[in-house]
């Protein structure tokens, strides 16, 4: 009964929100349709402004994967990780996560298929996905959209935070599972 009630409630949240927003706009004397059209125009400009940065990230990820650099680094990681019994699949997720969330989901799906949902590799990969950010994507989109060219310490600090997040994720999964 509770799940059905939640499902019905969630079906009405967005239409209710839209209705309340339109009613509020009318009550305040705002031309709701003109405001909507203006917002849509601004949205297109924003998309056109950040598209080159998104395309650059996409090309970078695909080039990295097809060049063989990913496989080479994964092999290097296996030498370091094997004494600590860290699944080598974890490295793929940790390496791709700062670049692209979509690519990370693809890699994570492959980890699930090959190792199973309850495996240490899958559990650790899931925690890594939840504890790190698509750093290069965020930097490219946000800094690019506002025109910031100099980000002196930003990339090293973000990379350090990602590495710490991966290490903590590995430790947490080890302790809890």
Mean of per-residue pLDDT scores for the chain: 86
CB 26 within 8 A of CB 32: yes
Question: Does 27 map to a domain?
Answer: no
State the alpha helices, DSSP H only, in 30-148.
32-66, 69-81, 89-96, 101-115, 120-131, 135-138, 144-146
Q: Is residue 119 part of a domain?
A: yes
pLDDT-based confidence at 175, cuts 50/70/90?
very high
Asked if residue 61 is part of any domain, the answer here is: yes
> pLDDT digit string (tens) for 66-103?
898 888 888 888 888 888 888 988 988 988 888 778 77
Rounded distance between C-alpha atoms, residue 166 and residue 129, angstroms = 9
For residue range 57-73, what is the model confidence (pLDDT) as tens digits? 778 878 887 898 888 88
Q: Residue 97 and residue 131: Cα distance in Å, rounded?
A: 10
66 within a domain of the structure (yes/no): yes
Residue 170's pLDDT band, with cuts at 50, 70 and 90, is: very high
* pLDDT at 1 > cutoff 60: no
Number of domains composing the chain:
1
Cα separation, 64 vs 82, in Å, equals 24
Residue 159: inside a domain: yes
Q: Decide if 128 is inside a domain.
A: yes
Q: Which two tokens stand for residue 58?
A: 């996409």
pLDDT tens-digit map of 132-162: 787 877 777 777 777 777 777 888 888 898 8
Rounded to the nearest angstrom, the gap between the alpha carbon of residue 79 and the centroid of all alpha carbons in its chain is: 28
Where in the sequence is the domain holding 151, given as residue range(s)?
50-176
Q: Is residue 104 part of a domain?
A: yes
In a domain, 163, yes or no: yes
Question: Is this structure's pTM higher than 0.85?
Answer: no
**Per-residue pLDDT tens over the stretch 25-35:** 999 999 999 99
């Amino acid at each position: 009964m509770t799940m059905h009630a939640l499902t019905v409630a969630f079906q009405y949240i967005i239409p209710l929100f839209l209705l309340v927003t339109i009613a509020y706009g009318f009550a305040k004397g705002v031309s709701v349709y003109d405001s909507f059209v203006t917002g849509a125009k601004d949205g297109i400009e924003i998309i056109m402004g950040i598209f080159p940065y998104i395309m650059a990230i996409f090309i970078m990820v695909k080039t990295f994967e097809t060049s063989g650099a990913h496989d080479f680094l994964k092999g290097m990681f296996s030498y370091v990780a094997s004494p600590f019994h860290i699944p080598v699949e974890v490295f793929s997720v940790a390496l791709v996560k700062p670049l692209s969330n979509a690519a990370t989901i693809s890699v994570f799906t492959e980890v699930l298929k090959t190792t199973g949902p309850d495996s240490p590799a899958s559990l650790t990969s899931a925690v890594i996905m939840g504890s790190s950010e698509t750093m290069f994507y965020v930097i490219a989109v946000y800094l690019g959209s506002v025109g910031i060219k100099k980000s002196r310490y930003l990339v090293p600090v973000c990379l350090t935070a990602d590495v710490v997040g991966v290490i903590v994720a590995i430790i947490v999964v080890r302790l809890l599972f």
